[in-house]
Structure 1
Amino acid sequence: MMNLNSASAAEGVNAGSYQSSRRSVESSTKDQFEMFLRMLTTQIKNQDPLNPMENTEFAVQLATFSGVEQQVQTNLLLSQLLSDTYGGGLGQYSNWIGREVRTNSPVWFDGASLSLAMDNITNAEGATLVTLNGQGREVQRQILGAVPGEMQWSGRHADGTSLPAGFYSFRIEEQNSDGSYVARDVEAYSRVTGVELTANGPELVLKGGGSARIDQVSALRE
């Protein structure tokens, strides 16, 4: 498992390589365009006044010039589009698809156990796991005993019945030494199925159609 900072650093290297390649292609295309323009200008300046370039030949030259200019503009616009999509957005997260992210965003439950991160609990003996459904309503409370850094949440009640399929989020109510309680979110793992570019930047599509912003992710694992 890697944390988000190390994952972002690795993706930054890929983004940097892409940007370098893009600039190289743009520079090469621009150089070819400028060379063509210089050749055409030189040809016109040095043509024989007694035998000037015929109209049809000159028209062909101008058409070629126009075609090259349009190609340059097309390449620049395409490079800009790719830069927006890959250099600073979707591309750097595309290899997250198929992997699991740790997030405080609601995650999909379909009967299979979910992995919950419990590594920040300081007093597990006095902690309660609270489960909320997709509408934010409390649907389950579980008294925790000693738990490792990660626990498997089965989505079952004490009588063995299972919660219905849907989106769930979690929080811990932990008792302090003075008897007071503090509540905080518990992060869960969910598999990434896609990446979308939204008005707020890249957003991960999670199992079951859920979603999570990049700033809602704290870790990444296979």
Structure 2
Amino acid sequence: MDINSINANTASAFQKQNTSGKTEMGQKQFMQLLVAQMRNQDPINPMDGAEFASQLAQFNSVEQLIDVNSGLEILQNSQDMMSASLTNSMAATLTGKQVRALSEQVNLSAEGNSEIKYKLKSSAEEVEIVIRNASGAEVRRETLNGVSSGDNNWTWDGKNNSGERLGEGNYQIEVVAKNGDEDVNALVYMEGVANKVRFSGNGVFLSINGIEVPIGDVEEVGTGIF
């Protein structure tokens, strides 16, 4: 077999690829290599027909997989665009509506109390409500006993563990429920009127009671929630 001739044909086959910066072998380049291989094969020991057919079948399978992957990628992009469009359209209709959404934050105004709402999967012998400031430091801890399953709430008077009134702003809420040594699943949520929708590169957010929540955390919308 004339190796130099094959190398020359190989270089020609990849010339366009090198100038365009691509590294993948296309169908045309693959066929050029096969033709070069057939032209320069050893007449005494020619290429096996079964081997040649196998190479063609393998390349055809790869081509089909590439086409399938490209099609799936296009379909996924279309579905993502449609989903984003539907989400944006739905979010715009939520302003002014009563909404329940998962959130581990609560807004404390300059005066008055704040309602901390949570849901227990089952009844709990003891529930600890821990409130932290923006820096993550604990400012208040309250222990409740004999709390039933389902929706519950506790009214925070806005004071810390020393009885001092805290400044207005957003605070982090943690609810830890236990039956003896066993944990009880607890979810913290808020209820209020969605007064603003914000669209960003990180998603769509609703403003409820001074707290921004992702639209994906909304559980219920409509009258009669509160």
TM-score by length of 1: 0.49
Higher percent of residues as strand: 2
Q: Which TM-score applies when normalising by structure 2?
A: 0.48
Larger relative contact order, structure 1 or 2 (CA cutoff 8 Å, min sep 6):
1
The structure whose Rg is larger is 2
